[in-house]
Structure 1
């Protein structure tokens, strides 16, 4: 192990399947990894890729920040500890508390914190997309229900709604008319403000994403992917995805982030309309995306590059393997076997399969995930 790695470590906040992928990717690059989690029963909490798991009572900002600073004091043997977010709330927390946290930790995007916080706001995306000459669906931010008819005058239905704040009580909903939309807003009134958009037609396979590692705005490495399945269909979280060769997706992703001078991992989700045009859906900034394992399995080790950027080290860039598909065994545990059954092949989509939990060198998370699935199925049956 090189000298600089002996004096540095990584702290991954959250050991859901995404955090597990990040931890494993870092360890495979020779990094000493520690984890932070509030639920010790998660499959990711059983991984051998972390040296120690620190348990916290809550991920709420007011409790997480003091806990992280206390953990840093316990890791005083390291000159530098790089902090990793695994969801948008973590990114927002790190950005708002950057002064405290950056005194203790290294964060790859610290120099562009304000840009990251701005890009997190769904209410800012239409302006950013249009300034960068990209298609963006007709949109309105709804602060209340009373002015709904006025704000959406001239909108074409169906309309999709998304909470402006990350990790709210719902991800997306689709309304076929004004009456249906009004009922949905009543149901999710606690999540206001809510973004409403004209829905771009197309199923799961019309959803693409570009993943980049940036160094002060310059692309270090890039990969394009496509959703094959999501939940809810065509508007939810990715459950199956594949690497694709789509230069247009990468060009549009770079175009969207141009001018922000960002460092670290970013991605942009795009939807291909029936006429072949691409439309911006949403970016991810300050962290890798939920499907990071797809990139990692393809040879694009974004977490390791994020670590190296935070420490101003030379970046590890490997060849990209386009022959990879990824199956989310956390949200859709049977997705691989469903694809095998439908396509009558152990290589669905003709590609090598990567999985959320299964790894020969780290089997404990897989067995725990199987145990948890059996418990859920048993409760459902009972």
Structure 2
């Protein structure tokens, strides 16, 4: 399919995630531009992007003026869809909508307030309670005072998460009130921080729902689970698979129902030892880092996001392929190890997908491989 020459996409960031987004859009005939601060990334050598615009940094102070300037250079395009690829991008774009919407389209512009709220960890407990979705008992630490007293009725271990996206850490598990106080002091620059009672379970108890919504209507909902993550059971996925689960799909839709959301939305749950599901966090305003997994399965979520932003109907993909994704950047040998353990090149009987790799766009993979080899050799 070839899109009209009147519309294009501008993807923020060309990490392996951003690269997956640009390739998915280009596959459907979309003209893709990108903005990136690091020209040494493997993704900057892709053939899926028409032009890459440099930016000094991805801070609000640099990114917002750069986006406005880039739009002037794209003046021949009637419509340009802006596509963030991490939580910091979403926050910056959401807080600068009054400036950016004069020049750009965004799939979630009409629900931006909800998007920004759902990014905040301290918003999630009351939101989950309202929708009768399980959420671990939590407390917000705004400062370092009275820590031991505040957690006197909570069970340990406890998991800590910064309220604000893209802070200096993602999660920490603390076994006792003493360790809790020590870690809060270590990371006081990230306050406020949410503390939650930790739910036991390994990587394969972490499930996710990948949705595309249009004014609250669910266009597509595909579920999966993590096979491995770093740090284990509480970090970013390094192996993930398509894994149907009707309960997870239903709970995800139940949780987001009040917000009339548009665009890509993912919701992660953890299955407790008793089989119940507990909300971990939503990802809103962007596709997930593991988007290559669902793209490989035949669910082109970035293209759906692009169409929604243009005010067009997005297709729902029915012919899906069971897939498994390996983050070969963070865990280069995971695929080899899994194949060796299972004695097959199709682990779990599913189609494998990888960061960077695409025969039609091989240069990013080669560049990533050379970078990895240099890192190993000169370590």
Q: Same fold (TM over 0.5)?
A: yes
- Residue deviations 1:145-188, cap 9 Å, x none? 22211221211111000111111111111111111112211221
Residue 33 of structure 2: aligned partner: 34
* Alpha-carbon distance in structure 2 between the residues aligned to 1:375 and 1:163: 34
Give the CA deviation at 1:322.
Answer: 4.6
* Alpha-carbon distance in structure 2 between the residues aligned to 1:36 and 1:329: 24
My pick for the range that moved more, 332-341 or 170-179, is 332-341
1:113 pairs with 2:112: yes
* Alpha-carbon distance in structure 2 between the residues aligned to 1:172 and 1:314: 38
* Alpha-carbon distance in structure 2 between the residues aligned to 1:222 and 1:306: 14
Gaps of 5+ in 1: none
Give the CA deviation at 1:320.
Answer: 4.3
1:155 pairs with 2:154: yes
* TM-score of the pair, normalised by structure 1: 0.97
Q: Secondary structure at the match of 1:59?
A: coil
Residue 346 of structure 1: aligned partner: 345
* Alpha-carbon distance in structure 2 between the residues aligned to 1:360 and 1:297: 13
- Residue deviations 1:216-253, cap 9 Å, x none? 00100110010000000000001100001111110000
Residue 294 of structure 1: aligned partner: 293
Matches within 5 A, 1:1-382: 2=2, 5-380=4-379
* Alpha-carbon distance in structure 2 between the residues aligned to 1:311 and 1:89: 23
Give the CA deviation at 1:318.
Answer: 2.1
The 8 Å contact of residues 245 and 322 in structure 1, kept in 2 or not, is answered as no
* Alpha-carbon distance in structure 2 between the residues aligned to 1:370 and 1:257: 39
* Alpha-carbon distance in structure 2 between the residues aligned to 1:269 and 1:182: 28
The 8 Å contact of residues 304 and 316 in structure 1, kept in 2 or not, is answered as no
How many residues align? The count is: 379
Distance 1:304 1:330, change over 3 A: same
Give the CA deviation at 1:321.
Answer: 2.3
Gaps of 5+ in 2: none
My pick for the range that moved more, 244-253 or 175-184, is 175-184
Q: Secondary structure at the match of 2:183?
A: helix
* TM-score of the pair, normalised by structure 2: 0.98
* Alpha-carbon distance in structure 1 between the residues aligned to 2:322 and 2:216: 28
* Alpha-carbon distance in structure 1 between the residues aligned to 2:308 and 2:150: 43
Distance 1:130 1:322, change over 3 A: farther
* Alpha-carbon distance in structure 2 between the residues aligned to 1:321 and 1:147: 52
* Alpha-carbon distance in structure 1 between the residues aligned to 2:363 and 2:204: 33
